[in-house]
Amino acid sequence: MQEELKKRKRKAKASRMASTSTSPTSAAAAAAAGAAAGAAAAAAASHALARFGLHGKRALVTGGTKGIGRAVVEELALLGAEVFTCSRTARELEAALAEWRSRGLLVEGAAADVSTPEGREGLLRAYADSFEGEARLDILINNVGTNVKKPSAEYTKGDYDRVFGTNLESVVALTALAHPLLKRGAEASRREQKAGGERAATAAVGAAPEASAVVLVSSVAGGPPSMRSGSLYAATKAALDQLARNWACEWARDGIRVTAVRPFYIDTPLAAGVVGDPAQLAQVLAATPSRRVGSPQDVAGVVAFLCSRASAHVTGETVAVDGGYLAAGFWPE
C-alpha cells in the first residue's frame, strides 16, 4: 500500500512539473501575446488621452472650493489642465490650494466675489497674471450659485438681487469679459493644430477643429417640469439654459462651444437642507429612477467630457445629470 501511494505521489509531481514547464515555442507565443497586450493597452491609453485628455488647456472655474465646483476643479486638473479658481473666502481658498498642491495638481486661485463687478474684474486680472506668455483661456466653468427658498409672494428686492446677481448676472458679465480670452484660446489652439503640434493626437478623433469651451452649471429646476426649489432660482436656471443655446450660435464663429449641465439634487452644501432631511430625501429618491442622490463627481465627469475633444461637435446642448428625473414623468412603483 505504501509503495502504491509513493508511485501516485511521484506521478502527480511529474504531472505538475509537465504542466508548468514551457517549451520554447509556447514561451515565444506567450511573449508575443504579452507584447500585443501591452501595445493594445498603450494604444487605448493614447486614444483616451487624445479624446478626453486636457493637457495644455487652461481652465477657469468659479466657486471651486466646495461642492460641484471643487469636483470640477479636481477632474479637470487630473485630466491635465492648468486650473485657476476662486472663492469669496481667502482662508477656504488657501486650504484647498494647499491640498491640491500636495497632490501634485496644477491649481491656482484668487479670492474673489464674482457677483460683483470688482470681483469679476479682479478675478480675470489674477487669472491673466498667473500664466506666463499669451493671456488665453480654453475652458470657462460658470459654477457659482445660490438660492433663497420661500413663497414667491414673500420675496424681497434683496432676495431678487442676491439670487439673480449671483446666478445670472455674474455669469453674463464674467463670460462677456472672458470672451476675448476664450476667442484667443481657440485661435492659439488652432494655430498649434495647423503647425502639427496636435496632429498626432487629433488624428485619432478626425482632426476636429480645436475650440474653447464654456460650461454653465444650471439645474433641472429650470424646467420644463416645475419643482419646489424656489421660483427665483428656477427662473435663473432656465435663463442659463437659453443662454447656452444663444451663445453657442453666436460664438461658434469665434471657435467657442457653449453647453450647460443640469443636475437634480446633488450631495453638496447648497442641497444639505433637503438631502439631510429624511422626509425630503425620501421624496427626492422617489422622484429619481436611479434611487440615489447624485455626487459632485457625477457632474464633474460630464463637465470634463463637454470640455474635451470627444465633444468637439457638441454645442448649444443642456445635459441633465439627474438620475432619470426628467425622463420619469408619471412612473409609479
The residues annotated as belonging to the active site are 233
Side chain identity at 256, as an amino acid letter?
A: I
Side chain identity at 53, as an amino acid letter?
A: G
Q: Do 267 and 294 form a contact (C-beta atoms < 8 A)?
A: yes
Q: How far apart (Å, rounded) are the C-alpha atoms in residues 254 and 201?
A: 22
| Segment holding 14, helix H or strand E | helix 2-20
Q: How far apart (Å, rounded) are the C-alpha atoms in residues 47 and 25?
A: 33
> CA angle 284-298-159, nearest 5°?
60
User: Per-residue DSSP letters for 223-285?
Assistant: SSS--SS-HHHHHHHHHHHHHHHHHHHHHGGGTEEEEEEEESSBSSGGGHHHHTSHHHHHHHH
Sheet holding 318-321, edge to edge: 107-111, 82-87, 58-61, 139-142, 212-217, 256-263, 318-321
